[in-house]
């Protein structure tokens, strides 16, 4: 984990690792959110279960507002009830 990711994880007191997709951008490409021209990901949200299955995906259009933490927690709750 790079320095900035560790600082971010420590600040938020996360109990899971963060990963970087730099320099190959494979994960962004695999998830379908890579903008090759700008070499970055579209703003997007993924909720992945413990088995590694993507249970929720939301890719924002340009200018679309970010989702609230509450909205994301509601999606986690929906998934947890299944």
Query: What one-character-per-residue DSSP string does 29-76 give?
Result: HHTT-EETTTTEEPSEEEEE-TTS-EEEEEEPPTTPPPPPHHHHHHHH
User: For position 53, what pLDDT does the model report?
Assistant: 93
Query: CB neighbours of 14 closer than 8 A, spacing ≥ 6?
Result: 8
pLDDT at 62 over 80: yes
pLDDT at 3 over 80: no
User: For position 1, what pLDDT does the model report?
Assistant: 61
Output the CA torsion sign for 21, 11, 49, 33: negative
pLDDT digits (tens, 9 = 90+) for 11-57: 988 888 888 888 899 999 999 999 999 999 999 999 998 898 999 99
Q: pTM of the prediction?
A: 0.76
Beta bridge partners of 59: 44
């Amino acid at each position: 984990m790079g320095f900035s990711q560790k600082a971010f994880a420590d600040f938020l007191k996360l109990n899971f690792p963060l990963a970087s997709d730099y320099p190959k951008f494979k994960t962004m490409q695999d998830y379908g959110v890579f903008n090759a021209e700008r070499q970055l990901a579209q703003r997007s949200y993924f909720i992945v279960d413990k088995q590694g299955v993507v249970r929720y995906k939301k890719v924002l259009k340009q200018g679309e507002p970010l989702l609230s933490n509450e909205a994301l927690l509601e999606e986690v709750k929906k998934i947890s009830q299944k």
